[in-house]
Amino acid sequence: MENIKAKNADNDIRKEPNKPSSNTNERKGIVSGCEHLCVRKTPKTNGEIVAIIAKDNKVKITGESGEWYAVTTELDSHFVNAISGYCMKKYISVG
């Protein structure tokens, strides 16, 4: 599935994002409410974009910080070579 694109291959975007301020049990979510969702390095609207995920793609929710989820993208069924960052909660359906 080629619906996830790294913004800058020169950056180390696979490292864990900044620790979220509150923790959740790991859950799965699906991108909804927009055609393309930015994955950001920090939980801020002006944070660096590290990837863009197309609608209906899955993410693993690893935590949350305010209006943001800390997520890992699902590049394959085992989250190998996944990209981690933050996405706004309103664009992810949890289920």
Question: How do residues 50-70 score in pLDDT, each as one tens digit?
Answer: 999 999 999 999 999 999 999
Q: Reduced to 3 states, what is the DSSP secondary structure of residue 90?
A: helix
- In what side-by-side order are the strands of the sheet with 58-65? 4-6, 49-54, 36-40, 84-88, 68-73, 58-65, 27-31, 92-94
| Per-residue tens of pLDDT for the chain, all 95 residues | 445 555 544 444 444 444 444 444 679 999 998 999 999 999 999 999 999 999 999 999 999 999 999 999 876 656 567 889 999 999 999 98
Q: For Cα atoms 33, 27, 30, give the angle at the middle one, nearest 5 degrees.
A: 25
pLDDT of res. 56 = 93
Q: For Cα atoms 29, 32, 34, give the angle at the middle one, nearest 5 degrees.
A: 140
CA distance 88 to 58: 14
In angstroms, how far is CA 76 from the centroid of its own chain? 14
Q: Model pTM greater than 0.95?
A: no
pLDDT of res. 6 = 55
